[in-house]
């Protein structure tokens, strides 16, 4: 296992930001990962990368970037009501979803077409259309960076929250996830109440719903709304939806009757960040002809090809400031900044 020096990361991040890593290597199994880790000094910055679809590089990475390419998807167990499917961290997330759809392993279909790899999915407990990773998660295996030990984490130990996990908080930069095992339903428990999934199914005249039809509906909706990173650089939603108290929400609703918010289990209101950004006047804005805010979805910042990461970061700060000024709500970034 050897490193490449001064390696361009442009094709490895979906924003398409042209930065260099001081050192770069890939690993295809646990042994090659351990071998790489043994060559990295404790004082060196280390970054593990999957699909690069949730990161923004604002400068060259002065350290070691290692890309997870551990493959493999297999059914490892089943009980009366569940299938247990184990996937290597370097598998493409959408390929895993399609594998489950093809085999009728249910519960994961609403998460179709999320970019990136399996290994990053627990990092922010990926979610879409009313389903989160935690709903289909069984356990994961990870290598501890300092010791090289393989450690198992169960559902509780991952401390999943809204776009959160233990790996983004107290265990940040301590583990490299090498595989994830999913617990999928034998009997369908479909979730079609979210967004316009049910209206798309109705339009098609679909009565007897299958997981394939839900996955297809999600793919259709996502493709029509979101920019394809292969064409326009982006990292999906740049900000999390902020949660505020009911009183503050009701006060805002008096001034802005169209504001969008949903009650959370903890008695707060999750406000649609896209609505806040759009109503602060940012939707569709283009700067220097190079970057801006997407015209269909204000939550997505885009690189039309020639932006630097620091320009996009500065834009995100300007958005945070203006939303705060107008609505007294502080947006937090979802994308990881380097
Ligand atoms: P990367 O960007 O490579 O890494 C993200 C973070 O995880 C980094 O901190 C990295 O160091 C760490 N990491 C990566 N792999 C490992 C590993 N094996 N072990 C330890 N740490 C690791 N997200 C959603 O939640 N829901 C969506 O609906 C959604 N839609 C999106 C749509 C578009 C068009 C885009 C571009 C992004 C979207 N995202 C969405 C964000 C993104 O796809 C997810 O966060 C995805 O899980 C990132 O995977 P990745 O492999 O690209 O991670
Ligand atoms: P949308 O359907 O226009 O909805 C706007 C926001 O309202 C979403 O952010 C969603 O919150 C919330 N919402 C909508 N219906 C809801 C319901 N019935 N109950 C609770 N909350 C509801 O959103 P969109 O931008 O097109 O995205 C659709 C789905 O894909 C969302 O789940 C979104 O999170 C996910 N997505 C995520 C990313 C990312 O990078 N993280 C990128 C694109 C899409 P939630 O975001 O909390 O679900």
- Residues 104 and 215 sit within 8 Å (Cβ to Cβ): no
- Residues 246 and 268 sit within 8 Å (Cβ to Cβ): yes
Query: In terms of domains, do 56 and 86 share one?
Result: no
Domain boundary among 68, 84, 105: 68
Q: What is the pLDDT of residue 26?
A: 98
Q: Which of 24, 27, 54, 153 to mutate to test the pocket of ligand 1 (most atoms within 8 A of CB)?
A: 54
Domain boundary among 185, 200, 223: 185
Nearest-angstrom CA–CA distance, 287 and 292: 6
Asked whether 242 lines ligand 2 (CB < 6 A), one says: no
Nearest-angstrom CA–CA distance, 199 and 36: 50
CATH code: domain of residue 298:
3.90.78.10
Q: Which of 16, 114, 169 to mutate to test the pocket of ligand 1 (most atoms within 8 A of CB)?
A: 114
Nearest-angstrom CA–CA distance, 28 and 310: 32
Domain boundary among 68, 97, 120: 68
Q: What is the pLDDT of residue 38?
A: 96
Q: Give the structural domain span for 308.
A: 233-337
Please tell me the distance between residue 57's alpha carbon and the centre of ligand 1 in angstroms. 14
Asked whether 54 lines ligand 2 (CB < 6 A), one says: no
Query: In terms of domains, do 44 and 97 share one?
Result: no
Minimum CA distance residue for ligand 2 atom 4 = 195
Which 3 state secondary structure label does DSSP give 273? helix
Q: What is the pLDDT of residue 48?
A: 98
Quick one: which ligand is closest to 303's CA? 1
Query: In terms of domains, do 58 and 78 share one?
Result: no
**For residue 20, what are the CA distances in angstroms to 33, 65, 247?**
21, 10, 47
What is the count of structural domains for the chain?
A: 3
Nearest-angstrom CA–CA distance, 167 and 60: 24
Please tell me the distance between residue 120's alpha carbon and the centre of ligand 1 in angstroms. 5
Look up tokens 């010791």; give the residue. Answer: 147
- Residues 250 and 271 sit within 8 Å (Cβ to Cβ): no
Q: What is the pLDDT of residue 208?
A: 85
Asked whether 129 lines ligand 2 (CB < 6 A), one says: yes
Tokens of 160: 């999943």
Query: Angle 140-145-147 (CA atoms, 0-180°, nearest 5)?
Result: 100
- Determine, yes or no, domain membership for 314: yes
Nearest-angstrom CA–CA distance, 128 and 154: 22
- Determine, yes or no, domain membership for 172: yes
List active site positions: 163, 237, 334
Please tell me the distance between residue 269's alpha carbon and the centre of ligand 2 in angstroms. 14
Q: Which of 15, 132, 272, 301 to mutate to test the pocket of ligand 2 (most atoms within 8 A of CB)?
A: 272
Ligand 1: nearest atom to the Cα of 68: 18
**pLDDT in 10s for each residue of the chain, 338 residues:** 689 999 999 999 999 999 999 999 999 999 999 999 999 999 999 999 999 999 999 999 999 999 999 999 999 999 999 999 999 999 999 999 999 999 999 999 999 999 999 999 999 999 999 999 999 999 999 999 999 999 999 999 999 999 999 999 999 999 999 999 999 999 988 888 887 898 899 888 888 899 999 999 999 999 998 999 999 999 999 999 999 999 999 999 999 999 999 999 889 999 999 999 999 999 999 999 999 999 999 999 999 999 999 999 999 999 999 999 999 999 999 999 99
CATH code: domain of residue 176:
3.30.465.10
Tokens of 46: 């280390």
- For residue 67, the cross-strand partners are 26, 49
CATH code: domain of residue 64:
3.30.43.10
Q: What is the pLDDT of residue 196?
A: 87
Query: In terms of domains, do 290 and 312 share one?
Result: yes
Query: In terms of domains, do 50 and 95 share one?
Result: no
Please tell me the distance between residue 68's alpha carbon and the centre of ligand 1 in angstroms. 13
Q: What is the pLDDT of residue 179?
A: 98
């Amino acid at each position: 296992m050897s490193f490449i020096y001064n390696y361009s990361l442009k094709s490895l991040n979906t924003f398409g930001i042209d930065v260099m890593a001081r050192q770069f290597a890939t690993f295809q199994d646990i042994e090659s990962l351990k071998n790489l880790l043994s060559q990295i000094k404790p004082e060196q910055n280390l970054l593990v990368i999957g699909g690069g679809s949730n990161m923004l590089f604002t400068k060259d990475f002065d350290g070691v970037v290692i890309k997870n390419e551990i493959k493999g998807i297999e059914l490892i167990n089943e009980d009366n009501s569940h299938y247990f499917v184990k996937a290597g961290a370097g598998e493409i997330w959408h390929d895993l979803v399609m594998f489950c759809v093809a085999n009728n392993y249910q519960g994961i279909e609403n998460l179709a077409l999320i970019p990136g790899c399996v290994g990053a999915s627990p990092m922010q407990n990926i979610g879409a259309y009313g389903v989160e990773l935690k709903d289909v998660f069984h356990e994961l295996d990870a290598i501890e960076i300092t010791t090289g030990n393989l450690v198992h984490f169960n559902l509780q130990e991952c401390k999943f929250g809204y776009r959160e996990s233990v790996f983004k908080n107290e265990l940040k930069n301590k583990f490299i996830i090498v595989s994830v095992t999913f617990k999928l339903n034998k009997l369908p428990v479909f979730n079609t109440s979210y967004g316009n999934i049910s209206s798309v199914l109705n339009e098609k005249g679909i009565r007897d719903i299958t997981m394939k039809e839900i996955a297809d509906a999600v793919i259709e909706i996502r493709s029509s709304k979101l920019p394809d990173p292969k064409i326009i650089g982006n990292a999906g939603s740049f900000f999390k939806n902020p949660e505020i108290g009911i009183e503050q929400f009701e006060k805002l609703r008096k001034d802005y009757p169209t504001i969008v918010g949903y009650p959370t289990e903890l008695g707060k209101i999750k406000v649609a960040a896209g609505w806040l950004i759009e109503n602060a006047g940012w939707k569709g804005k283009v700067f220097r002809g190079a970057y801006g805010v997407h015209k269909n979805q204000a939550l997505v910042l885009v690189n039309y090809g020639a932006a630097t990461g620091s320009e996009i970061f500065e834009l995100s700060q300007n958005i945070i400031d203006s939303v705060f000024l107008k609505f007294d709500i502080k947006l937090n970034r979802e994308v990881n900044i380097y």
